[in-house]
Amino acid sequence: MEEIDKNDPNLWKCLGLFYYNPKDPEVLCKASNIKGIVTLNFGHRIAYLYLAILVALLLAIILVEAGVFNL
């Protein structure tokens, strides 16, 4: 199995905020430049599903709090 260097700057996009490595099997990984932060590996399609679910949840919370939906 090939060793993956997650600290390679070529794998981090947009000032080191986004990790993109389709060869890395992990979907979640620790950010190399910020301690205690976990980021998605956008080299995987499942990462986009996680992101869509997170955005949908945040949007639902905002809409409920704004009174658009009465629960």
In a domain, 70, yes or no: no
In a domain, 2, yes or no: no
pTM of the shown model: 0.76
Q: Three-state SS for 63?
A: helix
In a domain, 1, yes or no: no
In a domain, 61, yes or no: yes
Q: Give the model's pLDDT for residue 1.
A: 56
Residue 56 has pLDDT above 80, yes or no: yes
| pLDDT band (50, 70, 90) for residue 50 | very high
Q: Which domain holds residue 37?
A: 9-65
Q: How far from each other are the two terminal CA atoms of the chain, in whole angstroms?
A: 51
If one counts the domains in the chain, the total is: 1
Q: Give the model's pLDDT for residue 4.
A: 80
Q: Per this entry, what is the length of the chain?
A: 71
In a domain, 60, yes or no: yes
Q: Give kind and range of the element (H or E) at residue 12.
A: strand 12-13
Residue 10 has pLDDT above 70, yes or no: yes
Average pLDDT in the 21-29 region?
A: 91
